[in-house]
């Protein structure tokens, strides 16, 4: 019985520490800076994104949109690139990037 309690307590402590140390995508966004390369953004946010759109505008500028979804909160975050450099990022409903027409 005593071993069971000790084991349960250790398991609870490990689980609590694991969840307490996880960094949300929203927190990781604070590490981004304008002009970062796509590789730099991937290093911070990871490879778990969906490429939602990619196009070249009339001026020849390549535009891309990646969407990251936070595994804990399920909140979606958009990351926009112009010619491979970070141009804008943030919560999905708070951004305006008029040059990039998203598919419906």
The DSSP result for 65-86, as a single string, is EEEEE-TTT--EEEEEEETTEE
Full-model pTM: 0.70
Q: Which pLDDT value is given to residue 35?
A: 95
Q: Which pLDDT value is given to residue 83?
A: 94
Nearest to 53 by CA among 68, 38, 37, 66: 66
Q: Which pLDDT value is given to residue 91?
A: 85
Walk along the chain (104 residues) in steps of 10 and give the mean pLDDT of each run: 54 46 80 95 94 90 92 90 93 63 48
Q: Write down the CATH number for the domain with range 24-94.
A: 3.30.1450.10
DSSP state of 37: B
Q: Which pLDDT value is given to residue 21?
A: 45
Q: Which pLDDT value is given to residue 19?
A: 45
Q: Which pLDDT value is given to residue 7?
A: 53
């Amino acid at each position: 019985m005593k071993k069971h309690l000790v084991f349960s307590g250790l398991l609870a402590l490990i689980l609590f520490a694991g969840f307490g140390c996880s960094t949300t995508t929203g927190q990781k966004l604070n590490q981004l800076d304008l002009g970062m390369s796509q590789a730099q953004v991937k290093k911070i946010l990871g490879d778990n994104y969906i490429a939602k759109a990619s196009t070249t505008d009339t001026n020849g500028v390549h535009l891309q949109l990646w969407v990251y979804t936070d595994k804990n909160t399920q909140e979606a975050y958009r990351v926009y690139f112009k010619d491979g450099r970070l141009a804008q990022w943030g919560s999905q409903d708070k951004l305006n990037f008029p040059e990039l027409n998203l598919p419906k």
